[in-house]
Amino acid sequence: MRLGATLRELERAGDRVSEGSYGRCAVCDAEIPTAQLELQPERTACVACVDRRRR
């Protein structure tokens, strides 16, 4: 089941590439560092926004 969810997340990342919004935080529009995208290409939020969301 998790594999299907990951595939959908990666497909959405591909859509963001096509739209020109890939690599930008969906919350604050900050640039997501390349190193983070290499580790987690489906990432949609920067570290700061993820940290705020967890609190």
What local confidence, expressed as pLDDT, does residue 1 receive?
55
What local confidence, expressed as pLDDT, does residue 4 receive?
87
What local confidence, expressed as pLDDT, does residue 2 receive?
87
What local confidence, expressed as pLDDT, does residue 22 receive?
96
Domain count for the chain, please give it: 1
Percentage with pLDDT > 70 across the chain: 98
Task: Say which CATH number the domain at 31 has.
Answer: 1.20.120.910
Supply the DSSP symbol for 4: H
Residue 36 domain boundaries: 2-54
Gap between the Cα atoms of 11 and 52, Å rounded: 26
Look over the chain and give the mean of its residue pLDDT values, rounded to a whole number. Answer: 93
- Whether residue 46 contacts residue 27, with contact meaning beta carbons closer than 8 Å, is answered with yes
Over residues 29-38, mean pLDDT:
96
Token pair for residue 3?
Answer: 């594999």
Token pair for residue 23?
Answer: 């690599």
